[in-house]
Amino acid sequence: MAEIEITLPTVQYGNVKVRATPEELGLEGVQDAGALGVATAVYLNLFTQGFKLGTQIDVDYDGGVTKPPTPEPTHEEAQEALSQLGTTVLDETPNEPEGEPEAGAQAPWNSPVVDAKPKPWETSGAAPAAPVKVAEVNW
């Protein structure tokens, strides 16, 4: 008994493999390669159309075997879980500074502008070197 395996593309790195006998695909056998190609192309086309329609359906969680993601626990739930483990209970809020930062901690763009020390070539009395002349090329 011959069995045909068709790999149907879905999303990146995800494929569906279908195994069927020629009779299940409406063929008499695998002798006619052209008929097998037509059956595969029709099956792939119908699968792709169904897959596109399926991705547009808004589905809700039905309570099946898989479980939906659990929401973030509240502060009270977290404290209760920690107390059951025998660990230290966290403070109500983390230690964060409130109000303005310390007087000495200013943002760099708010600090006073300091002039840079003059460069040696700006303070020396010598005349600057003559500019380098580049040979002219006539094209």
Q: Number of helices and strands (H, E) in the chain? A: 3, 2
Q: d(Cα 101, Cα 104) in Å, to the nearest integer?
A: 8
Token pair 């310390």 in the structure block, residue: 102
Containing 6, the helix (H) or strand (E) segment is strand 4-9
For the whole prediction, is pTM greater than 0.85? no
- CA–centroid distance for 126 within its chain: 61
* Structure confidence by residue, pLDDT tens digits, 49-101: 888 888 888 777 666 655 556 677 788 887 888 777 765 555 555 555 566 65
Sign of the C-alpha dihedral, residues 94, 100, 101, 103? negative
Convert the pLDDT of each residue in 30-45 to its tens digit: 888 888 888 888 888 8
